Amino acid sequence: MSTPISSIRNLGPAMEEACARAGIHSAEELREIGADDAYAKLLKSGTKPHFIGYYVLVMALQGRPWNDCKGKEKAELRKRFDILKAGNVDKGRSELERMLNQIGVIERPLG
């Protein structure tokens, strides 16, 4: 029996839909994959990178409120997010293109 992803505190229908597009179909599967690998799959499936979405996922899988992430922990999560983003979204882009992408100027290629 599988449990819906939206049964995890702070993860709702939008995250459930994004996970389904990424091939993640249950709360059990999401927990098994873990936040970083799951977020990488989300990015590869077309989810637009957003730091808050990433740390909400991390906090949710730890059973913590989304706004519990602060200070040094949040700074460390930002580093992990930037690495995930660079490896899955900005791969093959120049430094200028990466910066333009961060401010939303470059569209993500389809496919």
pLDDT digits (tens, 9 = 90+) for 76-89: 999 999 988 887 76
* Domain segments of the chain as ranges: 5-102
Question: Does pLDDT of 101 surpass 70?
Answer: no
Please tell me the CATH superfamily of domain 5-102, with its number: 5' to 3' exonuclease, C-terminal subdomain (1.10.150.20)
- Structure tokens that stand for 5 in this block: 């992803």
The pLDDT score that the predictor gives to residue 110 is 47
pLDDT confidence of 42, banded at 50, 70, 90? very high
pLDDT value, residue 102: 57
Using a 10 angstrom Cβ sphere, with 0-12 exposed, 13-18 middle and 19 or more buried, the burial of residue 92 is exposed
Q: How confident is the model at residue 109 (pLDDT cuts 50, 70, 90)?
A: low
pTM: predicted TM-score of the whole model, two decimal places: 0.78
Alpha helices in 13-67 (DSSP H): 13-21, 27-33, 35-44, 51-61
Q: What is the mean pLDDT of the segment spanning 23-34? A: 97
Q: Is the pLDDT of residue 45 over 60?
A: yes
Q: Are 60 and 14 in contact (CB under 8 A)?
A: no
What is the mean predicted confidence (pLDDT) over 45-58? 92
For the chain, percent of residues with pLDDT exceeding 90 = 62
Residue of 33, 26, 32 whose CA lies nearest to 1: 26
